[in-house]
Amino acid sequence: PIKGGGIDEGEKALDILASHPSTARFISYKLAQYFVADRPPGSLVNKLAKRFQETNGNIRDVLQTLFNSPEFWNEKYYKSKFKTPYQYIVSAARATNTDKPRWGRIKRILEQLGMKLYACKTPDGYKNTKEAWLNPDAMMRRISFATIISRGQLNQGQPRRINHRQLRATLGNNFSTQTQAVISNSPDSLQSALILGSPEMMEK
């Protein structure tokens, strides 16, 4: 029971919610899901929830526990996450050194990919799991975007085609044997687009 008392009632309710074990577990699950895997290991979630309660919800301490955990460094979770449209576009722009992008075009592409900025229809925000973003239509749109940015058409001013050799070097050439074969056997004019539209480029 919360006694009447104006604004104190709301603050008391928030204190109860913030200190509840379910809140610690919910936030810990979301952090582990974002940084490790769509279905994070329970051992990690438990550790984070415990740390959350021990520190009265200090997110910095919780994240330190996360980043120092063996689960975070476990190789089986390496590249297990699928980039959201926002993450994909930002990573492609950084990889191609698109320093003066056409913001209007990016905005339209994000809308087409279902991730309009600041416009999620539900209060829990956009999802960050593979099943939410991986579908045939979305992949076709991503590949179309990869073609546009590889031709330098996302940058303001005169289009400048992206050099595929430089792009490979920037990304560390961490592609599977199959992906490398497809890229290498394609015309030079398509290789940058294929790199940016590759399965490896969709992972993080």
State pLDDT tens for residues 143-187: 999 999 999 998 888 888 999 999 999 998 789 999 999 999 999
Give residue 61's domain range. 7-76
The span from the CA of 133 to the CA of 173, in Å, is 25
Number of domains in the chain: 2
Tokens of 76: 């089986």
- Whether residues 101 and 172 fall in one domain: yes
The span from the CA of 115 to the CA of 109, in Å, is 9
Q: What is the CA radius of gyration of the chain?
A: 21
- The pTM of the full predicted model, rounded to 2 decimals, is 0.86
- Whether residues 162 and 134 fall in one domain: yes
Picking from 35, 53, 76, the residue at the C-terminal end of a domain is: 76
Picking from 23, 51, 76, the residue at the C-terminal end of a domain is: 76
- Could you give phi then psi for residue 191, rounded to 5 degrees? -65, -40
Chain length of the chain: 204
Angle at alpha carbon of residue 128, lines to 149 and 34, rounded to 5°: 110
- Whether residues 125 and 27 fall in one domain: no
Give the rounded distance of the alpha carbon of 182 from its chain centre. 26
- Whether residues 66 and 144 fall in one domain: no
The predicted-structure confidence for 109-133, as pLDDT tens digits, reads as follows: 999 999 999 999 999 899 999 999 9
Could you tell me if 33 and 77 are in contact, meaning their C-beta atoms sit under 8 angstroms apart? Answer: no
Confidence tier at 82 by pLDDT (50, 70, 90)? very high
146: closest CA among 87, 86, 190? 190
**pLDDT over 70 percentage in the chain:** 100
- Whether residues 129 and 68 fall in one domain: no
The span from the CA of 182 to the CA of 22, in Å, is 48
1 within a domain of the structure (yes/no): no
User: Which three-class secondary structure state does DSSP give residue 32?
Assistant: helix
Residue whose pair of structure tokens reads 């950084």 in the numeric block: 94
